Amino acid sequence: MHELRIAEDLAAMVAEYAAEAGLKKVMKVNISFGEYIQIVPDLFEAAFTEAARDTVGEGAELDIEIIPAEMRCHGCGSAYKPAGDLCACSVCGSEEIDLIHGKELFVKSIEGG
Interface with Zn ion (CB under 5 A): 73, 75-76, 78, 89, 91-92, 94
Quote the least distance from Cβ 72 to Zn ion, whole Å: 9
* CB nearer Zn ion, residue 41 or residue 77: 77
Quote the least distance from Cβ 77 to Zn ion, whole Å: 7
Quote the least distance from Cβ 97 to Zn ion, whole Å: 7
Q: Percentages helix, strand, coil for the chain, rounded to the nearest 5? A: 30, 30, 40
Q: 61-67 and 26-34: which strand pairing? A: parallel
Quick one: which of 66, 61, 97 has its CA closest to 82?
A: 97
Question: For residues 9 and 44, is the Cβ–Cβ distance under 8 A?
Answer: no
* CB nearer Zn ion, residue 21 or residue 92: 92
* CB nearer Zn ion, residue 65 or residue 96: 96
* CB nearer Zn ion, residue 94 or residue 109: 94
